[in-house]
């Protein structure tokens, strides 16, 4: 995971959550989308047409390509900040 972060000491606490049932370690202040990117998981939702993977496009809340389901609510992964213990699933059709 450290290879996909800028070098240097990170003073932020680790925040752990689950993505599709697997444990992911993030840092406080990460969004779900950025934590998953840093963990090598760029595919966030499946397109409705052929199930093709989709991921972050705009990273600023405009495009809705990063939809994930957090504790049952469909949200934009690039705007949702990580919380300890949250359950994150891949999103589907927006």
- Comparing CA positions, the residue from 49, 82, 45 lying closest to residue 67 is 45
Contacts of 20 (CB under 8 A, 6+ apart): 88, 89, 90
Q: Is 43 in the site for ligand FES (CB under 6 A)?
A: no
- Taking the C-alpha atoms of residue 16 and residue 14, their distance in angstroms, rounded to an integer, is 6
Q: Which of 35, 66, 68, 88 binds ligand FES (CB under 6 A)?
A: 66
11 binds, among ligand FES, other proteins, none (CB under 5 to 8 A by kind): other proteins
Q: 10 Å Cβ neighbour count for 20?
A: 12
- Pick between residue 22 and residue 47 the one whose CB is nearest to other proteins: 47
Residues lying near other proteins in the complex (CB under 8 A) are found at 3-12, 27-31, 34, 37-38, 42-44, 47-50, 52-65, 73, 76, 79, 81, 94
């Amino acid at each position: 995971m450290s290879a996909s972060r800028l070098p240097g000491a990170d003073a932020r606490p680790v925040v752990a959550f689950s993505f599709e049932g697997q444990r992911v370690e993030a840092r406080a202040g990460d969004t779900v989308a950025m934590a998953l990117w840093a963990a090598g998981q760029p595919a966030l939702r499946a397109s409705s047409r052929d199930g093709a993977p989709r991921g972050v496009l705009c990273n600023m809340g405009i495009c809705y390509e990063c939809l994930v389901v957090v504790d049952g609510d469909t949200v934009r992964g690039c705007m949702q900040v990580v919380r300890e213990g949250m359950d994150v699933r891949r999103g589907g059709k927006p």
